[in-house]
A and B are shown apart, each in its own frame.
Chain A
Amino acid sequence: MAELHLPPMLQPLFPGLPRELGIEAGTVLEAIDSLDERWPGFRDRLVEPGPALRPHINVYVDRERGGLETELGAASRVDVIAAISGG
């Protein structure tokens, strides 16, 4: 089961969504879609049509920059990170 870490800006949008959770998924996109089933609209916050990650959203799988198609291992760590920007 992959270990998913989410940025704090998502929790206020989806009641009950934790910062960290385990998830069974083959790719990053499958993991996001799995969360979308439990929290409808979740995918739209991270993914734009294409599909593609939104411009200021980054994903790291096992500490390396990944994308929606990046495959997940049985014990992968996935960090979803919102870019530090703005004022």
Chain B
Amino acid sequence: MSKSVLLIGTRKGLFVLESGDRRDWSVRGPYCESWPIYQAVLDPESGTIYAAAASEWLGSAIWRSADLGESWEHSSEGIGYPAEDGGLKLSKVSSVMPAHGRLLVGAESAGLFESTDGGKTFSLVTTFEGHEGREAWNDPAQQPPGHLGLSAIIPHPEERDRFWIIVQGYSLFETTDGGQTWTPRNKGLRRDWPAEYEEIGFCVHKVAPAADFERMYQQNHVGMHRSDDAGKTWTEITEGLPTEFGFAAATHPHDRDTFYVIPLDPGHGRTMPEGKAAVWRTRDGGSSWQPLTNGLPPENAYVGVLREGMTMDDRDAPGLYFGTSTGQLFASTDEGESWGQIGGLFPGITSVTVATVE
């Protein structure tokens, strides 16, 4: 019988939740010695959990577990910038993504590493040497607090050397040669600030592809956007949402026109608008939006959700899950029509991913 496995990355370690019916969940953890987790994923090919973590004291490492969290190892062998590489400092590993038999890892300062031995050792792929804007995005004076550097890795499901990455605050990039060259993919995006560079300088928060990888949705610092050509061009679809700002987003696994997002107050607080918890859904590719609130706190819910804080499983009736930056975890098994809180009270949640395990 299959079961659902939720990986909840928090500021104080990783938690593993399991359920056979998606109603009753067991909770294990905290794992990874309660290091802050930036992203955790279960590799469907190997069954291994990988977690990108960074201790304030002991530095960054990729943790791995081949038995759903019962035992763990960690490694940072090869994760670091050579002293001669322009003096780049690596403050954290901020993203991790297994695909096509290798493990890709993103870091701050922005750089990409890979492992071809299941996370035991790593080698540097690129620090984007010579790319327009590199000096700016690696300049601490121009970075927001908690800068993530290379904040997301989005692998193509069939083409091994094709994937997208986000450099926080600057750009979505695509590579088709395994990370040797990069093309900015920001055409059509808005920016409400002076443009220092023509092709980059866009604050991409989250990119969520549909199953066909031609349709993509993007939550930007300024606006929700849709692409129908794999990110080459973008069209704004913000109209109908309560705010243009947010982080977390998820696409429906079986319907490219259905997409979920959690709009946040764009001010300093970055919490749910007016304290009313809601996930917003479109069923027509962003032409119209509906708030989904049944079972979520209707008032006094001044909570935020971070960029990796929402996910969707691939069941016939897909489940939707999101965790707040103050540690509440909510789930829906009817495509967002109704919600319930699951799991317990966690440390601040940074990453929510789900897998179906036989």
Contacts and interface: CB of A to CB of B under 8 A. Distances in A.
Interface of A: 9-10, 12-13, 40-41, 44-46, 48-50, 54, 56-57, 82-83, 85-86
B139 interface: no
A84 B340 CA distance: 39
B76 interface: yes
Contacts of A57: 57-58
| Residue with the greatest number of chain A CB neighbours at <10 A, chosen from B57, B76, B77, B89 | B57
A71 to B, nearest CB: 23
Nearest to A14: B74
Contact of A44 (B33, B57, B61, B81): B61
23 contacts: A9-B57, A13-B33, A13-B58, A13-B74, A40-B77, A41-B74, A41-B75, A44-B59, A44-B77, A45-B59, A46-B58, A48-B59, A48-B80, A49-B80, A49-B81, A50-B83, A54-B57, A54-B58, A54-B59, A56-B57, A57-B58, A82-B58, A83-B57
A48 B58 CA distance: 9
Contacts of B74: 13, 41
The majority secondary structure among interface residues of chain B is loop
B56 interface: yes
Contacts of A86: 56
A49 B83 contact: yes
B76 A44 contact: yes
A85 B56 contact: yes
Contacts of A44: 59, 61, 76-77, 80
B31 to A, nearest CB: 11
> Which 8 A-B residue pairs are closest in the complex by CB-CB distance?
A45-B58, A44-B76, A56-B57, A82-B57, A49-B80, A49-B83, A12-B33, A50-B83
B29 interface: no
Given A41-B74, A41-B75, A9 B80 contact: no
Interface in B228-255: none
Nearest to B60: A44
Contact of A9 (B33, B75, B76, B82): B33
A46 B55 CA distance: 11
| Most chain A beta-carbon neighbours within 10 Å: one of B33, B59, B89 | B59
B234 to A, nearest CB: 38
B34 to A, nearest CB: 10
Given A44-B61, A49-B82, A50-B83, A56 B77 contact: no
Interface string B81-112: 11100000110000000000000000000000
Interface in B44-92: 56-59, 61, 74-77, 80-83, 89-90
B58 A9 contact: yes
A30 to B, nearest CB: 19
Contacts of B82: 49
Nearest to B78: A44
Contacts of B89: 48
Contacts of B90: 48-49
A85 B80 CA distance: 24
